[in-house]
Structure 1
Amino acid sequence: MATRRYSTAAEIALYYTRQTAYQPECKQLSVQVRKELLSKLEQVILARRKDIQEALFQDLGKAALESDYAEIFAVISELRFIQKKLGRWAAPTAVANNLLFFGAKAYIQSEPKGRTLIISPWNYPFQLPLVHLAASVAAGNTVILKPSEFSEHTNRILAEIIAEVFDPQHVAVVEGAVEETTQLLALRFDHIHFTGSPAVGKIVMQQAAKNLCGVTLELGGKSPVFIDRQTDLSKTCKNIIWAKFLNAGQTCIAPDYALVDSSLKEAFLAQLKEALITAFGTDPKLSKDYARIINGRQLTRLKTILEEELAQGTQLICGGEVLEEQRYMAPTVVIPTRLDRRLMQDELFGPILPVIFYQDLAEALQIVNEREKPLSCYIFSDNKAYVEQVIKHTSAGSTCINDAVIQIMHPNLPFAGVNNSGIGQSLGKFGFQDFSHQRAILQSSPWVRMSSFFWFPYKERTKKLVNLLIKWF
């Protein structure tokens, strides 16, 4: 493999200059041309399927099947959905008039925002860049894509695929780390889409504010799981194991910690251990289906958090093994003794599941509401009143009942956070709208221009008209 290199300052400047010049032409690309580009992207991805699988294995140790459904299928599904719906989304949408605008024509026209920047993370290094790229291209924008420097092998395939489909004046990939990202953020974009941590999201937002640039922030947080006594415990534990340890816990909407009715303690822990053995065997490092941590830095962070907790009396239920040369951390379940340390303050983003047993629902709700609003909230209960109480007394970007993580796969639901977990919406129609400006257009009545009613100088009839409007409209 060739020696890795980052994009130079000159290359970044050239991409930006060319995209700025091309943007007026890009804005005029028909819906049909945009669909053809997305169709070509789909075909190139399918042709490179094995290469994508291999790159994801090298970066994250992902099984080919997991790469297929969690990365490749997610992109293909989004591309096909956009192609199917784009004509309808991009068409002008008429809005109703009231009597005040009788005879006028009012409608909303989606138009491209212009130059867009997409900054993507390393945990789903193929899926996340491309689903947002698809939305921006569908909306008629130019795109500079900045993937994470940590997913080196996937980035190479990603760049090759994009170069085969798009001219760099339309879509370009910039590789680099902090220096290159800083250079990009200093440029005047019309919209920035960032996926990552809240800490970096604040930096992105500060830089965007200098140019009054719109932002979409997909961040994270500690997504809780509520487990009621009225639930099928066997199915629930299997759902949690899959959602938590998919991609070795490196999923932004993965369950971060579990809140379990205390009456279920022994049964829950027994079912959880049984589900783990069913999923990965008695020695998970031998499982071909269990992924690895992206790099040594992240592994050290997770290892340190776990060691700190165990030294403070946190109970280790299972797991805990770390093999640094393999970037491996076993699926780990713990019962914390306190909730004010890093384990229960920071988003874990790894294969550690803290379990907290509550006496009543009010206690569990308080634990959640003392923290920042999470990206997702999961509820396992067959009790409708319990579910309604959790939804009513919490706030989250999304909520899934009696399953986990799958809400992101629904084509007609937005993917979004709230406050600390994100700003703006993505995927499907919501992604298209996020990269579009909804332009309000009003064509006055052919018989009379409303502004003539308010013409200077103001007269008594103008006053009567205004009083009439205040009273009846």
Structure 2
Amino acid sequence: MAYTSISEIDNIYSAQEKHKDVAKHSTAQQRKKLLERLLAEIRSNEDAIQKALYHDFHKSAMETAITEIFAVEFELKQFIKHVEKWAKGKSVSRSLLFPNVSASLHYEPKGQVLIITPWNYPFQLPLVHLVASIAAGNVTMLKLSEFSKHTNQVIKKILGGIFKEEHVAVIEGEVNETTHLLTKRFDHIHFTGSPAVGKIVMKAASANLSDITLELGGKSPAIFDKNVSLERAVKNIIWAKFVNAGQTCIAPDYLLVPRPLKSEIEQLFKKELEHAFGTNAQHSPDFARIINDKQYKRLSDALTDARSLGAQLIAGGNLDERERYIEPTVLSNVAENNPLMTDEIFGPILPIVYYNQIADAISFINKKEKPLALYIFSEDSKFSNHVIRHTSVGSTCVNDAMIQILHPSLPFGGVNNSGIGQSTGWYGFKSFSHERAIADVKLMPMSKMFWFPYTEKTFKLLKWMKKLI
């Protein structure tokens, strides 16, 4: 696979630098038409997208349709519907202190944007964030993962038929190409990936004081209450954990379950995993594979180490290196220093931790870095509210999992180690826009009240103003 050369990157960057004023002054209607063309191109290439994801992940056409294509088309429809309204800006309420000031917020493009995307959802993630950048009026360099080469080719074909490189350019490469990109001065950098790489991106951005959005990850817990529809909750966790073979940043990373439910939940996992994937998940048409040998080895080593140190196998555990296949696996009694309990798993392995008191479960969560997501399964709203009040996470979903990312009125993003900034929908438009404050003064200037020299009259005016606040 030919990567984008350093000289090509430099040429594209220069062309986009010259073109960003043109993009900035495009109308919302013009951007909407581009998004409509993009939607039409994706719809006409759905078969090609599904085939590409199968080659990269052994991902089923249905799973691609749900998790990759639908997510992008849904985002496009939201932007097509709202971009003209969002781009207009809005008036804000008047203040008694400023009776002659008309105040408003104006949304303008940040300018030159770099989007760096990962391999786990190689169609969804690049396109969802690109949609927001285009809608906001930016020029964009879209750096794709080197591990999803088949999907990359489809993306290049789709975008190349709509955009000139001076507006939107696809960049392919590894560490050298990404490192070179990060030496450039961008107005905004949007990165999705691990916290470790996120720190490198943030450090590079700081050299130019570039604005930044980081979508990272972490160990997202799912906590069960004793008052729960256990069978329904287990089925929900199985879908959320094992879709895309667990390679999802907001997948449940481990379960916290009341100890009295131990026997029942373990039997349910055995039964429901067989219902989901049959007696041999390797033959299931619905179960994906690990993206590459490096990730397979990381996961298989952690699983082997956990079992050697006494982890109890509840379900799964079979491996096939040739296919990079890891069976949907559920464990308990995993050592706390094992990578499965210290690092984000990002694979089809699910540890269960049993707790006695809710305070113990909350303490277990809070000892770790703040996660990207938290899932609560309970029929008792007091339990859910208690957990929400005593934890800090990017997003929370109660009695379901992973659907919060699709809600059109909610932002997606982490907190601290799991991310900085927000994305998707209106929040994505804001992320790629500068929210500019406009104070339009009518009649006399407000500052006239404080002109030099300061006098007793100035003091009285200040005293009067303090009564209004």
TM-score bucket of the superposed structures, by smaller chain:
over 0.9
The answer to whether structure 1 residue 282 and structure 2 residue 283 are counterparts is no
Aligned to 1:449: 445
Residue identity opposite 1:470 in structure 2: K
Aligned to 2:23: 26
Aligned to 1:432: 429
1:376-413 deviations in Å (ceiling 9; x for gaps): 00001101111111111111111011111111111111
Aligned to 1:381: 378
Aligned to 1:415: 412
Unaligned runs of 5+ in 1: none
Contact 2:113 2:139 in 1 (8 A): yes
Counterparts of 1:165 and 1:221 in 2: how far apart (Å)? 36
Residue identity opposite 1:304 in structure 2: D
Aligned to 1:251: 248
1:282-331 deviations in Å (ceiling 9; x for gaps): 10000000000000110000001011111111111121111111111000
1:164-220 deviations in Å (ceiling 9; x for gaps): 111100000010000000000000000000000000000000000000001100000
The answer to whether structure 1 residue 54 and structure 2 residue 62 are counterparts is no
Measured at CA, do residues 54 and 337 of structure 1 come closer, stay the same or move farther in structure 2, by a change above 3 Å?
Answer: closer
Contact 1:118 1:133 in 2 (8 A): yes
Larger mean CA deviation between 373-382 and 89-98 belongs to: 89-98
Measured at CA, do residues 18 and 471 of structure 1 come closer, stay the same or move farther in structure 2, by a change above 3 Å?
Answer: same
Aligned to 1:104: 101
1:125-155 deviations in Å (ceiling 9; x for gaps): 0000000000000000000000111011101
Counterparts of 1:296 and 1:162 in 2: how far apart (Å)? 30
Structure 2 residue matching 1:313: 3-state secondary structure: coil
Counterparts of 1:108 and 1:466 in 2: how far apart (Å)? 27
The answer to whether structure 1 residue 134 and structure 2 residue 131 are counterparts is yes
**Deviation (angstroms), 1:462:** 1.3
Aligned to 1:170: 167
Q: How do 1:216-295 residues align onto structure 2 when only pairs under 5 Å count?
A: 216-295=213-292
Residue identity opposite 1:124 in structure 2: Y
Contact 1:102 1:445 in 2 (8 A): no
1:321-377 deviations in Å (ceiling 9; x for gaps): 111111110001111243232111100000000001111111111110100000000
Contact 1:101 1:445 in 2 (8 A): no
Aligned to 2:352: 355
1:417-456 deviations in Å (ceiling 9; x for gaps): 010000000000000000000000011122x211111111
The answer to whether structure 1 residue 467 and structure 2 residue 463 are counterparts is yes
Counterparts of 2:353 and 2:403 in 1: how far apart (Å)? 24
Counterparts of 1:391 and 1:44 in 2: how far apart (Å)? 42
Aligned to 1:398: 395
Residue identity opposite 1:451 in structure 2: S
Counterparts of 2:48 and 2:284 in 1: how far apart (Å)? 22
Aligned to 2:182: 185
Contact 1:224 1:378 in 2 (8 A): yes
Contact 1:253 1:405 in 2 (8 A): yes
Aligned to 2:42: 45
Contact 2:305 2:338 in 1 (8 A): no
1:232-282 deviations in Å (ceiling 9; x for gaps): 111111000000000000000000000111111111011111110000001
Counterparts of 1:412 and 1:156 in 2: how far apart (Å)? 32
Q: Percent identity at matched positions? A: 52
What TM-score results when the alignment is normalised by the length of structure 1?
A: 0.98
Larger mean CA deviation between 74-83 and 451-460 belongs to: 451-460
Counterparts of 1:129 and 1:342 in 2: how far apart (Å)? 29
Identify the match of residue 110 of structure 2 among 105, 110, 113: 113
Aligned to 2:62: 65
Counterparts of 2:163 and 2:333 in 1: how far apart (Å)? 50
**Deviation (angstroms), 1:97:** 1.7
Counterparts of 2:270 and 2:44 in 1: how far apart (Å)? 40
Counterparts of 2:93 and 2:285 in 1: how far apart (Å)? 57
**Deviation (angstroms), 1:103:** 2.5
Measured at CA, do residues 251 and 98 of structure 1 come closer, stay the same or move farther in structure 2, by a change above 3 Å?
Answer: same
Larger mean CA deviation between 308-317 and 110-119 belongs to: 308-317
Counterparts of 2:54 and 2:146 in 1: how far apart (Å)? 16
**Deviation (angstroms), 1:99:** 2.2
Identify the match of residue 122 of structure 1 among 119, 122, 126: 119
Counterparts of 2:157 and 2:260 in 1: how far apart (Å)? 54
Residue identity opposite 2:113 in structure 1: T
Structure 2 residue matching 1:116: 3-state secondary structure: strand
Counterparts of 1:297 and 1:323 in 2: how far apart (Å)? 14
Contact 2:306 2:335 in 1 (8 A): no
Unaligned runs of 5+ in 2: none
Counterparts of 2:335 and 2:148 in 1: how far apart (Å)? 35
Structure 2 residue matching 1:349: 3-state secondary structure: coil
**Deviation (angstroms), 1:92:** 2.3
Residue identity opposite 1:258 in structure 2: L
**Deviation (angstroms), 1:463:** 2.0
**Deviation (angstroms), 1:87:** 1.4
Aligned residues: 469
Residue identity opposite 2:426 in structure 1: K
